[in-house]
Chain A
């Protein structure tokens, strides 16, 4: 019974933890412009994150080492540093977007200007990272994030024309009034949002934090393979809501209030409050995960002691690095830049950095010195390599498309 509970908890937190500000905003934007015409990208992205999250979890559990420690060891200090610089900067951008997202969610709940909420959100993130136990911070935000299921409920309550939704999803391609480049630009943004690199750093470091061994692998595989696809369904529900309500009214998504508009229309205030709690939990949880990831990557590359399982005084540089990251994020937000805009850029740049994260994991998962007989099988390598090609194509196309489409304008 206890075991069953642990498995259920893991799956539920994986669902709630899958969605972050990037998924929320990008799915709503895409839904309001293309309907479900890009739902296939979420599908491709979810399979990819399942493959690589599972792989990085296995590397961590078998070798007892987190991803970035091994990246530096196996790829050498210079390739590792280039990797660190790119991953860290993009992660910092994501931290900024998530903290901004928390502030926006609080604004939705209170109508107080988000500028006032930014310091509160930042302090909240810091104090939780400083004080709370690892499993606690992961489970609470993950479970509360489940209230986002209200988007799926709202989709049903809107009683849409299922036939036309299915038609959009099954016959992908740009609508007549949108240029092809814009369609592919948003495809890459959506792919970047689903496969955000921090999830892998967080997943593998989390495996060390929770002291996984090979015995925990089956459980972790179940969490990933059930939780992430269900999280992906939530993403599609968000896009679906936007497709039903915002697309016909040609409303552009420029703030969170438009993201939740369909929910309010379908279920009134009760549904709206569920959505706000869900968004708050999802962005706050992701803010914790990304902040921790920036600490993890830096500490693992430079060989500092790290981890929530140590007291802050025993991992001083790890905690200091995270405090600096939070302060930098606050400084960026204090310039008055729109957090939604930061989010949109962060998912595109995530797509650019994807090969840097996923290539080393694929290499290390094949290394017998670390993995013994638990190296990738042929099937896993085939899928991993196919995804690496997809990721490379997306990464090279991202910046040109960003420029050509004027960031999807």
Chain B
């Protein structure tokens, strides 16, 4: 599977109701060791109800600068949520279906470690 199979797909609930579009995918580098990096594993999909535009990374850490762009992004992607990969029932061409009783998570990541 490649990333573009998922990005831009319709996100549907088990009863077929559309809840938004897949705008991003959460990955974890924890698969089998490969040549450069370990293989990546999909851990979740980010669903935005109203926009298919890229989030430009604003959903992850609560970055709020520059104010104008951050506001615009937050408004475009209001109500977006993260669904864990375990809650994905079916992946088909152009659509991703979640299982009954799936959970909506906050897309925010834990704060960045101080460097």
Task: Count residues of A near B (Cβ-Cβ below 8 Å).
Answer: 20
Interface pair B66/A363, CB less than 8 Å apart: yes
Q: For chain A, residues 332 to 380, give those with C-beta under 8 angstroms from any C-beta of chain B.
A: 359, 362-363, 366-369, 372, 375-376
Interface pair A369/B112, CB less than 8 Å apart: yes
Cβ of A365 to closest chain B Cβ, rounded Å: 8
Interface pair A366/B66, CB less than 8 Å apart: yes
A381 to B103, CA, bound (A): 37
Tell which of B56, B61, B114, B115 touches A363, judged by Cβ atoms closer than 8 Å: B56
Given contacts A74-B56, A77-B3, are A369 and B61 in contact (CB under 8 A)?
Answer: yes
Would you call A3 an interface residue if the criterion is a C-beta within 8 Å of the partner chain's C-beta atoms? no
A362 to B65, CA, bound (A): 9
Q: How big is chain B's contact interface, by range?
A: 10 to 19
A78 to B24, CA, bound (A): 11
Interface pair B69/A362, CB less than 8 Å apart: yes
Would you call B54 an interface residue if the criterion is a C-beta within 8 Å of the partner chain's C-beta atoms? yes
Given contacts A368-B112, A369-B61, A369-B112, are A75 and B54 in contact (CB under 8 A)?
Answer: yes
Interface pair B112/A79, CB less than 8 Å apart: no
Q: Is the interface of B mostly helix, strand, loop or mixed?
A: loop
Contacts of B54 in A (CB 8 A): 75-76, 78-79
Q: For chain B, residues 6 to 43, give those with C-beta under 8 angstroms from any C-beta of chain A.
A: 7, 24
Interface pair A381/B67, CB less than 8 Å apart: yes
Among residues of A, the one whose C-beta sits closest to the C-beta of B56 is A75
Which of B63, B64, B112 counts the most chain A CB atoms within 10 A? B63
Tell which of A77, A78, A79, A384 touches B66, judged by Cβ atoms closer than 8 Å: A384
Would you call B101 an interface residue if the criterion is a C-beta within 8 Å of the partner chain's C-beta atoms? no
A369 to B56, CA, bound (A): 14
Tell which of A74, A362, A376, A384 touches B57, judged by Cβ atoms closer than 8 Å: A74
Contacts of A384 in B (CB 8 A): 66
Among residues of A, the one whose C-beta sits closest to the C-beta of B65 is A366
Q: Give a binary string over B73-115; 1 marks a CB under 8 Å from any A CB, 0 the rest.
A: 0000000000000000000000000000000000000001011
Residues of B within 8 A of A (CB): 3, 7, 24, 54-57, 61, 63-69, 112, 114-115
